[in-house]
A = this chain, B = another copy of it.
Amino acid sequence: MPSRPNKVLNSPAIRRMPLYLHWLLGMRGLGKKTVSTTELADCMKLGWIVVRKDIALTGVSGRPRVGYDVDRLVAAIRAFLGWKETRRAALVGAGALGSAILGYGEFANCGLDVALVFDSDPEKAGRRIRGRTVRPISELPEAFRRAPPEIAILCVPAAAAQETADLLVRNGVRYLWNFADVALEVPRDVIVQRESIAAGLAMLSVKIRNDRSGRRSRIED
């Protein structure tokens, strides 16, 4: 294992990458071959220095007076995000939240294949949601043994989240995408990406507070 420095990656930049990709794919669709920092900064509503730094993370550099090559930048962002390969995922919790997530149309472009859907409610077993069949959670161990998913998407109520995470980890999952809005306890080698509605509301709230107080602080997200 290479011993690289314990660098802290810039999470706002990572979070912005899909939006860069969105704009770049739109431009490519219109036949555009190159794009300048200024054009990208306008799309992203960011300063050009931030745009330069973000793109530098992907390893692409622009050429003076020409800008960035759109195709190269698209490929570099996809490589940066690891979206060139497809990862198999299982979603647990087929309620309103799980259904909303399954309805997201862009997973295929993001290297995610949500192949399995489970729910603890036996009433839901066999139902079709957005083209997938819901299975009872009792079938999870066997299904994971047959074809292990790399990622589990946790959409269960907060009260059931830890227990479900334990079940997933016991059945070999090491990457958890947690929408349950609780802090999970997991072994050290398990990676959790926690989505928190309160985090987004905190961002909105600080933007509102700044707006109300006439502060000019920028929050780049």
Contact = CB atoms under 8 A, between A and B. Distances in A.
A131 interface: no
Contacts of A210: 9
A87 B14 contact: no
A216 interface: yes
Given A18-B196, A99-B96, A193-B200, A215 B4 contact: yes
Nearest to A7: B217
Nearest to A212: B82
Given A19-B183, A103-B97, A208-B175, A6 B81 contact: no
Interface stretch (A31-39, A104-112, A117-125, A139-147): A104-112
Contacts of A216: 3-7
Contacts of A11: 12, 203, 219-221
Interface in A2-36: 2-9, 11-12, 14-19, 22-23
Interface string A153-195: 0000010000000000000001101000101000000010111
A112 B175 CA distance: 32
A29 B100 CA distance: 34
Contacts of A177: 200-201, 204
Contact of A111 (B14, B200, B205): B205
Contacts of A181: 104, 106
A100 B96 contact: yes
A101 interface: yes
Interface string A64-97: 0000000000000000111100010000000111
28 contacts: A1-B214, A2-B214, A4-B216, A6-B218, A8-B217, A9-B206, A9-B218, A11-B203, A11-B221, A14-B199, A14-B206, A14-B219, A19-B199, A82-B208, A82-B212, A83-B205, A96-B96, A96-B97, A96-B100, A106-B181, A110-B205, A112-B201, A175-B211, A177-B201, A191-B207, A191-B208, A193-B201, A195-B200
